[in-house]
Amino acid sequence: MLITMIAALASAAEPMPEFLNGCWEKAEGSRWTEECWMEPRAQVMLGATREGDGDRLTMWEFARIAPDAQGRLTFYASPRGAPASAFPRTSSGKNHVEFASPAHDYPQRIRYERKGDGLEATISLLDGSKAVRWSYRRKGSSTGR
């Protein structure tokens, strides 16, 4: 019975944001950010981010996008290996996805949008204030570094 329920949830799950697939980077002077997402498989996308300044790592995070127990597509963030915080999907389209958790301190909203050959990531409070944005290029592209 449980296997049947899991199979039903997986088949009815919301579409995954496949446009995230791959490695993305942003560099400004000695400061850099890299974010990589594995392609969707078994209704899960796994991601990792690291930021640094020169040879010094300043932040890292593991992430997962997967259906929650109710089948809602959810972004799970685990900065520096902390227990994961869940952000259910609030909107999506062919080239964007947004997740939000009003109860979380910061960020409360996470948004990704594919813009041409780039990717924009934004975190903010629910109302859009205190926004921090990353404009990425595909890692290894001639405009990436």
**Does the residue 145 lie in any domain?**
no
Residue-number span of the structural domain to which 66 is assigned: 2-138
| pLDDT higher than 60, residue 6 | no
pTM of the model: 0.87
| Residue 43 pLDDT grade (very low, low, confident, very high; cuts 50, 70, 90) | very high
Among residues 88, 113, 63, 86, which one has the least CA distance to residue 13?
88
Read off the amino acid at residue 2.
Answer: L
**Does the residue 86 lie in any domain?**
yes
Residue 23 near residue 35 (C-beta atoms within 8 A): yes
State the chain's mean pLDDT as an integer: 91
Residue 113 near residue 96 (C-beta atoms within 8 A): yes
Euclidean distance between CA atoms 11 and 95, whole angstroms = 22
| Residue 134 pLDDT grade (very low, low, confident, very high; cuts 50, 70, 90) | very high
What is the model's pLDDT at position 58?
98
Q: How many domains does the chain have?
A: 1
Euclidean distance between CA atoms 145 and 75, whole angstroms = 28
pLDDT above 70 coverage of the chain, percent? 88
List Cβ neighbours of 80 (8 Å cut-off, separation of 6 or more). Answer: 59, 60, 61
Euclidean distance between CA atoms 56 and 102, whole angstroms = 33
| pLDDT higher than 60, residue 92 | yes
DSSP string, 6-56: HHHHHHHPPPP-GGG-EEEEEEETTEEEEEEEPPPBTTBEEEEEEEEETTE
CATH number of the domain that residue 75 is part of? 2.40.128.20
**Does the residue 59 lie in any domain?**
yes
| DSSP structure class, residue 83 | P
**Does the residue 57 lie in any domain?**
yes
Task: List, for residues 69-78, the tens digit of each pLDDT value.
Answer: 999 999 999 9
**Does the residue 87 lie in any domain?**
yes
